[in-house]
């Protein structure tokens, strides 16, 4: 649990400093098993559209991740099944 906290802090600091390489390298440690299985989707929700699209393509190519850049105003539900569990 302490390692998870440290990795989350590194990612948060990297985002604040716009150190994209550090974020990409460290974020993978937060859920390596899910990323390895390809069972999850990474959503890039920060930055200009062109830069976010480029980052998505790079992560998909380098890591084999399922990556998406949602349209502005899109509502994301986390975990993905959360909307189904609510009484909307």
User: What is the pLDDT at residue 54?
Assistant: 92
Q: What is the pLDDT of residue 33?
A: 54
Instruction: Tell me the pLDDT of the chain averaged across its residues.
Output: 76
Q: How many CA atoms lie within 13 A of 55 on its CB side?
A: 21
Write out the two tokens for 54.
């480029």
- SS3 state of residue 41: strand
Least confident of 4-8, 67-71, 73-77: 4-8
Lowest mean pLDDT among 30-39, 51-60, 62-71: 30-39
Mean pLDDT computed over 11-36: 74
39, 74 contact by CB (below 8 A): no
Average pLDDT over residues 4-24: 81
**Distance between terminal CA atoms of the chain?**
33
Instruction: Please give the sequence-ordered ranges of beta strands (E in DSSP) within 1-88, or none if there are none.
Output: 41-43, 66-68
């Amino acid at each position: 649990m302490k390692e998870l906290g440290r990795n989350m802090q590194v990612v948060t600091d990297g985002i604040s400093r716009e150190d994209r390489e550090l974020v990409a390298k460290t974020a993978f440690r937060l859920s390596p098993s899910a990323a390895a299985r390809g069972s999850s989707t990474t959503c890039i929700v920060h930055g200009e559209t062109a830069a976010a699209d480029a980052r998505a393509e790079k992560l998909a190519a380098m890591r084999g991740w399922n990556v998406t850049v949602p349209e502005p105003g899109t509502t994301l539900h986390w975990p993905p099944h959360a909307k189904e569990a609510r009484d909307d």
